[in-house]
Chains A and B, each alone.
Chain A
Amino acid sequence: MRFVVFVKQVPDTSSVGTDENGNLMREGVPSILNPYCEFALDMACRVKGEGDIISVVTMGPPQAESALFRCLELGADEAFLLTDRAFAGADVYATAKTLSAFLKKFIPDHDLLFCGRQAMDGDTAQVPAELASMMGCGQFYYTEDLVFSDGWKAVQNYYDEERECALKKGDLISVSKGETDPRLPSVADYIRASGTEIKKLDRVDIGLGTFSVGLKGSKTRITSSRPVSISRRGILTDGGDPTEAAKHIKGMVR
């Protein structure tokens, strides 16, 4: 079996602080493997059998290599970094286009595709469906479990409905659940990962024109942005006396 896991590197938002003006301080914020992507990788590792291969792929700047290294430590067998200055500024469409072109050219014969539900840095769960659309495969969002019995089956959770669906070869799974405490590699894993080459591919390797990737290949443009003007004043009130504080709240909500 050949499993392909698409991952993303994100800033570790749990350690993003704000300055006195409430602006985010991104300086010194470490980059990590997006937690949902780690769930996706974990799911692939869990179902992996003898002789199966897990490939991980990311599109990103050269330093995204560290996210792939983490994937190798956690059990991926090979890693591809799609990196090119021309990829910069890609929106969802251009990203999915790049990933699908890579997949068609480098791993055309794959069994299952895995994505994380969403990136923690504000993406909104679009890449998996756009990728599935471009690959023409089925998509299984909000998947919490994957089992093999008489074929692959995904357990999906749509808040108001939980269902189990059969997968076909080539289908894409978007994983929304995993261990709350991430796994840790062993030293043996670290050594193995250190000995695995991370393959770097650029636009030409993948075979895409400049107008298919990055900002030029994007279908949306940010035309303006403005600071959030929240008129909330953040008044401080002393709530040392719970009874008084409760009365105060009651006055506001009633």
Chain B
Amino acid sequence: MLQQYDLGTSTADGLMVWLEISERDPVSFEPSSMEILSKAREIYDGRIFGVVFGDTELKPLYKEAFSYGADTLYHVKDKRLIDFHPEAYCESLRSIAERINPSIILMSATLRGREVAPRLAASLGAGLTADCTELSMDGSVLQMTRPAFGGDLMATITSESMPQMATVRPGTFPPNKISDDATGTVIYWQYKGDSFKTIISSKRKYHDEKDITEADILISLGNGIKSKDTIRLAESVAKKLGGMVSCSRALVEKGWFPQSRQVGQSGRNVSPEIYLAFGISGSVQHKAGIMTARRVIAVNSDPDAPIREIADELIVGDAENILRELDKIL
């Protein structure tokens, strides 16, 4: 078991990141994992350890991990771990953490990251701050900042013990390559446990589209959209602008969109360059989900719609007509 020390006198050192794999064929990293490496390099002077799960298919990725700032890569090499087994992942991460005794463990607040991080935190007796949007160091103390309830406050949180753990909101930090030919050490690690789930069937759902968290421009539709045909307009506008279509909770409930397109606290938190909200009044949860967007432009028939509080501009007008016109002139 990892020993716990007072933060000031801890001998823990190093920063460990679980680097999530989003595709196996061809193999690629979850983009937000590279964002975390970049941020880690920026704020942290010590060694940075990456951890990856899978078999030999991962080899082409080593270089990328180093180029974004990892010094050492732990490759938990096991064919069975190509599939996601949260219990086995967690046990492996824990045994690696016990070996290197890091002062910080970070991972991305993706669906899987949010599942693994708390399990690991509990097994290490570590504190965990979820979904951070700012990270900085104060000596050896990691300052973790995240929106508090409703997004009207930003709370800065610190851990009471080592390691200090956080998950990071995807899309918050820009990915930044330090060098194309950076190198580092790869250590093969063996998982000795047997906490494998019995996966009876698994259907990989291929999306030819990106995740909405990766889009630079989001055309987002809300309850003010009355006609389902408007979705096609929005898709067309998004295509012309090189963006994607997202939505508010109301349209997911209507069954017009899958949950993966939902922006907001119960959906995805997004940070696009431009967020164009059509007919979204702006619930507390929705506003929290777009706080880190670079620019927010809303179109709504109600000048008092709460989304105005978080928008650069609120265009008062008919969302569907304006979208139709926009589609025409683009």
Identify the A interface with B (CB < 8 A): 13-14, 16-18, 22-24, 91-93, 96, 118, 120-122, 124-134, 138-139, 141-142, 153, 158-166, 180, 218-228, 230, 232-243, 245-250, 252-253
Contact = CB atoms under 8 A, between A and B. Distances in A.
Nearest to A132: B119
B202 interface: yes
Given A14-B283, A133-B123, A249-B276, A124 B160 contact: no
B198 interface: yes
B186 interface: no
7 contacts: A120-B265, A125-B114, A125-B130, A166-B197, A219-B159, A236-B303, A243-B325
B160 A219 contact: yes
B205 A160 contact: yes
Contacts of B160: 218-221
A218 B127 CA distance: 7
Given A13-B285, A18-B152, 20 more contacts: A91-B127, A118-B266, A125-B130, A138-B195, A139-B86, A139-B115, A160-B206, A162-B202, A163-B202, A164-B200, A166-B200, A220-B129, A220-B159, A221-B158, A223-B156, A223-B158, A239-B315, A241-B317, A242-B324, A246-B326
Interface stretch (B43-51, B143-151, B175-183): B143-151
Contacts of A120: 265-266, 285
Contact of A245 (B295, B299, B312): B299
Contact of B114 (A13, A126, A133, A162): A126
A63 to B, nearest CB: 18
A125 to B, nearest CB: 5
B202 to A, nearest CB: 4
Contacts of B97: none
B127 A133 contact: no
Interface of B: 22, 84, 86-87, 90, 109, 111-112, 114-123, 125-131, 143, 147-161, 167, 195, 197-207, 211, 217, 241, 253, 260, 265-266, 274, 276, 283-285, 288, 291, 295-297, 299, 303, 306, 308-318, 321-326, 328-330
B322 A122 contact: no
A164 B150 contact: no
B253 A180 contact: yes
A160 B203 CA distance: 9
Nearest to A20: B309
A125 B313 CA distance: 33
A100 B207 CA distance: 39
Contact of B308 (A159, A218, A234, A247): A234
Contact of B199 (A16, A93, A163, A233): A163
Chain A, interface SS category = mixed
A30 B123 CA distance: 36
B213 to A, nearest CB: 11
A252 B274 contact: yes
Contacts of B318: 239, 242
Contacts of A160: 22, 204-207
A10 B95 CA distance: 37
B325 A222 contact: no
A249 B158 CA distance: 41
A93 B125 CA distance: 8
Contact of A93 (B121, B156, B205): B121
A107 B22 CA distance: 39
- Closest A-B pairs by Cβ, 8 of them: A239-B317, A219-B127, A246-B325, A124-B130, A133-B122, A129-B118, A126-B118, A220-B127
Nearest to B312: A232
Nearest to B211: A159
A133 B90 contact: yes
A124 B121 CA distance: 14
A239 B127 CA distance: 48
A18 B152 CA distance: 10
A124 B306 CA distance: 24
Nearest to A177: B259
B205 A13 contact: no
A18 B286 CA distance: 13
A253 B274 contact: yes
A240 B152 contact: no
B13 to A, nearest CB: 19
A250 B217 CA distance: 13
B122 A130 contact: yes
Contacts of A164: 199-202
A24 B197 CA distance: 43
Contacts of A139: 86-87, 115, 119
Contacts of A219: 121, 125-128, 159-161
